[in-house]
Amino acid sequence: MKKRRINVSRITKKYLLIIFIGVCNLSLGQSSLSTSSFGVWDRGEAMDPKVYPYVRGTSCDAPWDEVEKSDGMYDWSTMDQAIERATKNNISVYFSFEAGPKTPDWVYKKGVPKVVSDDKRHADKFPFYPYYLSSEYKTYYFRFLNAIAKHISGYSKEKQNRIAFIQVKTGCTGDECPYKGDAIDPKYKLKPNDAAWGQFRKETFSEYAKLFSSDSGLKLRLLFNGVSPEEDTKNNQNELWNWATSTLKEGFGIKNGALSRGHHLSGERSAISNFLPYLIDPKGYSLFRRSEMDQTWTRPWYQLNVPLNFYWGAINALNAGQSVWDISKIAMQVSKEQGFDYSFYFFNKYAGQIYPKTATDAFCALHKGLDAADTKVYPEAKFGAASHSNLERMEKICAEYAKYGAANEDKKALALGQVGQRGDQAGFNDVGWEIWPENYSRLLYQIEPDATSIPLWRIGGPIKNTSPIYARFARGFEHSTGKDALYFKLHEGFSQDTKPKVMSITIVWYDSIEGSKWKLDYDAGAKAMKTAMTVTGKGDKKWHHEVVTLRDAVFRYGGKKGSDLAIVNVDDKDDVFSLIEVHRGEQELPALRPPTEVKAFSGYAKGTKYGKGDSADEGNTGDKGKKEKKDKKDKKERKGGKGKKDNKEEDGN
Phi, psi of 402 (to 5 degrees): -60, -35
If asked whether residues 278 and 318 sit together in one domain, one would say: yes
Separation CA 453–CA 576 (nearest Å):
10
> How much is the pLDDT for 235?
72
Strands (E), 125-241: 129-130, 163-167, 221-224
Longest dimension (CA), the chain: 80
| Count of other CB atoms within 10 angstroms of residue 548 | 17
Q: Which one is predicted more confidently, 528 or 175?
A: 528
> How much is the pLDDT for 233?
57
In a domain, 644, yes or no: no
- % of the chain residues with pLDDT over 70: 87
> How much is the pLDDT for 610?
64
DSSP at 97? -
In a domain, 415, yes or no: yes
**Least confident span in 52-56, 87-91, 647-651:** 647-651
In a domain, 627, yes or no: no
* Claim: this prediction has a pTM higher than 0.85: yes
Domain final residue pick, 542, 564, 593: 593
| Count of other CB atoms within 10 angstroms of residue 546 | 17
pLDDT tens digits, one per residue of 532-574? 999 999 999 999 999 999 999 999 999 999 999 999 999 999 9
- Domain residues for 443? 370-593
Strand partners, 550: 503
CATH code at position 53: 3.20.20
> How much is the pLDDT for 320?
97
Using alpha carbons, select from 35, 39, 18 the residue that is nearest to residue 588: 18
Q: Kindly state the average pLDDT of the residues 30-48.
A: 83
> How much is the pLDDT for 596?
86
Q: Kindly state the average pLDDT of the residues 177-202.
A: 96
If asked whether residues 345 and 483 sit together in one domain, one would say: no
> How much is the pLDDT for 304?
95
**Least confident span in 42-46, 105-109, 343-347, 576-580:** 42-46
Question: Does residue 511 contact residue 544 with C-beta atoms inside 8 Å?
Answer: yes
**Looking at the 3D structure of the chain, how many domains does it have?**
2
CATH code at position 549: 2.60.120.1360
Kindly report the CA angle at 634 between 632 and 639, in degrees rounded to 5? 105
Domain final residue pick, 559, 575, 593: 593
Q: Which one is predicted more confidently, 337 or 4?
A: 337
If asked whether residues 353 and 374 sit together in one domain, one would say: no
Q: Kindly state the average pLDDT of the residues 489-513.
A: 97
Q: 295 by DSSP, 3-state: which? A: helix
Domain final residue pick, 563, 593, 623: 593
If asked whether residues 144 and 290 sit together in one domain, one would say: yes
pLDDT at 629 over 50: no
If asked whether residues 390 and 447 sit together in one domain, one would say: yes
If asked whether residues 335 and 377 sit together in one domain, one would say: no
If asked whether residues 420 and 348 sit together in one domain, one would say: no
Question: Does residue 503 contact residue 584 with C-beta atoms inside 8 Å?
Answer: yes
Question: Does residue 528 contact residue 575 with C-beta atoms inside 8 Å?
Answer: no
The model's confidence at residue 526, banded by pLDDT at 50, 70 and 90, is very high
If asked whether residues 397 and 536 sit together in one domain, one would say: yes
Using alpha carbons, select from 121, 101, 98, 99 the residue that is nearest to residue 181: 121
Question: Does residue 317 contact residue 291 with C-beta atoms inside 8 Å?
Answer: yes
Separation CA 473–CA 523 (nearest Å):
27
Q: Which one is predicted more confidently, 651 or 438?
A: 438
If asked whether residues 351 and 394 sit together in one domain, one would say: no
> How much is the pLDDT for 173?
85
Angle of the 631-638 helix axis to the 329-338 helix axis, nearest 10: 60
